[in-house]
Amino acid sequence: MSSARARIAAKTPEWRAGRAGWLFIAPAITLIAVFFFLPVGASLLLSITDFDLYAVANPANVRLVGTRNYTDLLQNPTFWLALENTFYFALVGGPLTVATSLGAALLVNAKAVRFKTFFRTVYFLPFVTTLVAVAIVWRYLYHPQYGFLNYALGAFGIHPIDWLGDPRWAMPAIILLAVWKNFGYNMLIFIAGLQSVPEDLYEAAALDGAGAVRQFWHVTLPNLAPTFFFVGVVTMIGYFQLFAEPYVMTTGGPLGATTSLVLFMYEEGFRWWRLGVAASIAFLLFLIILVWTAIQLRLERRLAA
């Protein structure tokens, strides 16, 4: 564009709107670029260095080590344990949370139910509470001698379980807390999805003689599919990032049974100051989330076709 035309263009409303657009997004994109994308890029660099406590004191001590952090991790049993625990939590906790959410949504949304908003609020309440605080509450509920859970199970003749002290039970205990804490959010989304299913589809199914169960399978579920995938993707991404629950309840124990990838990353990075190693853990986590999300999206496309 010639300078003369540029000057004419400068007077137009389009030019004004263009300048305004950039000014309006400038604060947000600057902050996001400097405090998110830049560190993400730097993290990749960090992961190919031996950045440690000496480098925190003086950055001149940093050396490039190529893929050594990654290959070391693959030899490290703690990494494999953390990976296994993270998948255990996500693959069991995720579907359990989504199923609980759907169940709660169907109950709250049932036609015969009154006080819908009351139940909706009560079910949603755990989601807004502070995770650290309720994790401490659940620690006491899980107490082998004085906790309510064992007391309640005792009524069914079940012997006391050392929930957070037994490597076999610690992860199920954390999953139970996570389901309780998170199902309310997905429930809201399922309710919104249920309400968007056209009423005449149910009427048509009822005319064809379909009962409640068949209506659920042939009308509700297919129409809920997009909601299902949205909820599934969001829940799994969140669950792969398990951190505060084990940090507060078990510090990763007993015997590493609840050490998650993020907890392992935190310990390596901010307890032992091996930031290079920690960055490579973070990147592997990113990779896992990326691959998992891609699989879920492909599954969605295949089922929708």
Partner 1 sequence: MGTVLLYAALIAGALLSLFPILWMISASFMPTGMANTFPPRLLPDHPTIQHYRDVFTRLSMGRYLVNSGIIAIVVTVLSLIINSMAGYAFAKLRFRGRDGVFRAMSAGLVIPVQVAMLPLFLLMKSLGLINTYWGVIIPSMASIFGIFLIRQYAISIPDDLLDAARIDGASEARIYRSIVLPTITPILATLAIWTFLTTWNDFMWPLIVLSDERRYTLPVALASLVGEHVQDTELMMAGSVLTVLPVVIVFLVLQRYYIQGVMAGSVKG
Mention every residue, 6+ apart, whose C-beta is less than 8 A from residue 193. Answer: 105, 223, 224, 226, 227
CB 253 within 8 A of CB 144: no
Using CB under 8 A, pick the residue from 92, 230, 253, 300 that binds partner 1: 230
Single-letter code of the amino acid located at 205: A
Q: Is 12 in the site for partner 1 (CB under 8 A)?
A: no
**3-state SS, residue 98:** helix
Looking at the Cβ atoms of 87 and 243, the one nearer to partner 1 is 243
In angstroms, the CA 127 to CA 109 distance is 19
Sketch the per residue contact string, 262 through 291, with partner 1: x for CB under 8 A, - otherwise: x--xx--xx----x--xx--xx-xx--xx-
CB 183 within 8 A of CB 123: yes
Q: Give me the least distance between CB of 286 and partner 1, in Å please.
A: 5
Q: Give me the least distance between CB of 280 and partner 1, in Å please.
A: 10
Sketch the per residue contact string, 210 through 229, with partner 1: x for CB under 8 A, - otherwise: -----------------x--
Looking at the Cβ atoms of 73 and 275, the one nearer to partner 1 is 275
DSSP for 125-158? HHHHS-HHHHHHHHHHHT-TTT-HHHHHHHTTTP
What is the DSSP-derived secondary structure letter of residue 59?
G
* Binding to partner 1, residues 63-122 (CB under 8 A): 104, 107-108, 110, 112-113, 119-122
Of the candidate spans 89-97, 142-150, 165-173, 201-209, the one that interacts with partner 1 by CB under 8 A turns out to be 142-150
Looking at the Cβ atoms of 171 and 224, the one nearer to partner 1 is 224
Q: Is 232 in the site for partner 1 (CB under 8 A)?
A: no
Sketch the per residue contact string, 194 through 213, with partner 1: x for CB under 8 A, - otherwise: --x-----------------
* Binding to partner 1, residues 54-73 (CB under 8 A): 56
Single-letter code of the amino acid located at 293: T
Contacts 24+ apart (CB under 8 A), 66-71: 69/276, 69/277, 69/279, 69/280, 70/280, 70/284
